[in-house]
Each structure stands twice: as C-alpha cells, then as structure tokens.
C-alpha cells in the first residue's frame, strides 16, 4: 500500500472511519459500506451527481475517465480539490457531499429494482 493510500484515514478523520479496498488497478474508498471515493494513479476522486457536481466544476476539477473498448469512458467521480489533503474541515465537507451523492445513487438503484404494481400483477 502506498503512502498516499495509508494517509487517507488521517485525511478523513473528521468525516469518519473509512475502509480502502483494492479494485481494478486502483482503490475504492468506503464509509459504512458505501463507496464514495476512488484512487487511481495516486489521485483521489470523489463521487458526484447532479446535486454536487457543480462544486467540482466551479473549481475546474477533472472528471475521472478511463479507456474502455478504445473509447474514453467517464465515471461520476471528480478529482478532489488540492486543499482537501491538508485541510481536515474541507476534507470532511467534500467527503460528506460525495457520501451523500453515493447514498442518492444507491437509493435510485433500489427504486429502479423495486417491484411495481404492474410487475407484481403479472401471471407466471
């Protein structure tokens, strides 16, 4: 584990306990079992959605992208602001926004999978 990864629990100390799991050449950063950040190439990216993406875009922060089948694919994660790593209060604020985005995404997935009255009335 790199020094960067080992330092993240300290960065997030005001936000709360995090878990870091190796995945796809990078790391997922979790809080209460929910992934709200990822690390790729020693860069921290935070979860974004329609409600919090503006905070990243206002600062000109890059969206996470990777090569997939010969094309660039973007994910709903943006680079963390530079002050994030040294300012625990800023880290807590940005982490909370991203954790809330992850919770909203999880809620949307549950709604999409929930049975509807139409589906429940189908005969098998």
pLDDT in tens, 62-107: 999 988 888 988 899 999 998 889 999 999 999 999 999 999 998 7
Q: Is residue 115 part of a domain?
A: no
Cβ neighbourhood burial of 49 (10 Å; 0-12, 13-18, 19+): middle
Across the chain, mean pLDDT equals: 88
User: How many Cβ atoms are within 10 Å of 10's Cβ, its own excluded?
Assistant: 10
Q: Is residue 120 part of a domain?
A: no
Distant-in-sequence, close-in-space partners of 50: CB < 8 Å, separation ≥ 6? none
User: What is the value of pTM for the model shown?
Assistant: 0.83
Structural domain count, the chain: 1
pLDDT of 117: 47
Does the pLDDT of residue 111 top 90, yes or no?
no
Q: Is residue 122 part of a domain?
A: no
Domain assignment of residue 101, given as a range: 3-109
| pLDDT digits 0-9 by tens, 37-54 | 999 999 999 999 999 999
Q: What is the CATH number of the domain that holds 75?
A: 3.30.1460.30
Q: Is residue 79 part of a domain?
A: yes
């Amino acid at each position: 584990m790199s020094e960067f990864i080992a330092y993240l629990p300290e960065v997030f100390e005001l936000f709360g306990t995090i878990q870091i799991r190796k995945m796809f050449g990078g790391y997922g950063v979790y809080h209460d079992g929910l992934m709200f950040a990822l690390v790729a190439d020693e860069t921290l990216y935070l979860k974004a959605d329609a409600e919090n993406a503006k905070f990243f875009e206002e600062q000109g922060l890059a969206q996470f992208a990777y090569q997939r089948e010969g094309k660039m694919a973007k994910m709903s994660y943006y680079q963390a602001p530079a002050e994030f790593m040294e300012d625990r209060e800023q880290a807590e604020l940005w982490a909370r926004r991203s954790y809330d985005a992850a919770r909203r995404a999880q809620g949307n997935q549950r709604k999409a999978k929930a049975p509807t009255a139409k589906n429940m009335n189908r005969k098998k």
